[in-house]
Structures are given as C-alpha cells and as structure tokens.
Amino acid sequence: MALTIVATAGSASANSYCTVAEATAYNEAHVSGTTWTEAEPEDQKRALIMATRELDAYLSWSGLASTDGQALAWPRTGMLDPITDAVIGEDVVPVRVKWATAEQARLLLVRDRTSESDTDVQGIASLTAGSIQIGFGRRRQGPRPMPLTSSRPVSWRSSSRG
C-alpha cells in the first residue's frame, strides 16, 4: 500500500511536518544529502512520518496546540520565532521544524535510530555499582541520534502577545 504524506498544518490527519518536496530541497543543500535524494520515494515517506513521530514524542514543545483536533504538536499558539522575535502564526509549521523533520528523516534512512540503546550509542561496555566503575568500549560510528529526552521546551518561546 502506498503511503500518503499529509503535511497540512493543523490537519486532523497530518502525519508529517514537511512534504517530500520540502525535505528534498533541504537535503539537496546538505553535505550528506545523497542519502535522501537516492532513497526510494516510499522510504522517504516512511522516514518523514517516523521523523515527525520522533520529534513529537521526544521533544517538549512550549506553547499549546492551535486546535484540539490537530494530529501533530505543531502548529502552536502564542509562539515567537527564536531569531526574529516575530509572532509565528497559529496555522504555521515553522521552517526550522520542517528542517528538523527533513534532517531526522535523512538520519533514519542511514539506520533505524530508535532500535539503539543508549549504552550502545555511548560505547558503554561495563558498569559496576560498588565503588562505581564504568568501562567504555569502542563508540558506535555514524550520525548521532537526536536527544531522546528534553528537560525544557525546545527553541521557540511563548508570547503573551495576542
């Protein structure tokens, strides 16, 4: 069954923050962009959907979802652009969120980052509790995964402007 990307901001059926075309434009300017541009179209769609899921699952966004019925965390209300301090429209997914989606999608095409354990990524080979001792082996090579947790809201600031 062919996947369909729904990147309509605020849609109840949205499954991606960016379209395949937006992700391709981003990755064409990336030093490792051929990973994306040479991937099969269905794999690109799968990667975008999974990247969007990961962003929403692992990041704590500030502000509130614009509508009760939207499927994804963005768009959000009362948000400011972190560079310009301009108010971000309540019906807009910021370009930086789209870029993050495209970046994570490209990394997912390299390998499934969700199946890795933190100890595998960090190269921890052994751990002893008495007298606390940690042994490191070789670090796994390849792109670093996105952080799996965030203790504070990410990037965009809430605004009291209405």
Which strands sit side by side in the sheet containing 79-80, from one edge to the other?
A: 87-88, 79-80, 157-158
Name the pLDDT band for 160 (thresholds 50, 70, 90). low
Per the prediction, the chain carries an average pLDDT of 82
Q: What is the pLDDT of residues 115-156, one digit of tens each?
A: 655 555 556 666 666 666 656 666 555 544 454 444 444 545
Tell which residue, 44, 45, 28, 22, has the closest CA to residue 94: 22
Prediction pTM value: 0.73
What are the extents of the domains in the chain? 20-118+147-158
Tell which residue, 8, 10, 27, has the closest CA to residue 18: 8
Three-state secondary structure call for residue 100: helix
Name the pLDDT band for 60 (thresholds 50, 70, 90). confident
Q: Half-sphere exposure of 71 toward its Cβ, with a 13 Å CA cutoff? A: 14
Report the pLDDT value the prediction gives residue 47, as an integer from 0 to 100. Answer: 97
Q: What is the pLDDT of residues 89-125, one digit of tens each?
A: 999 999 999 999 999 999 999 976 666 555 555 566 6
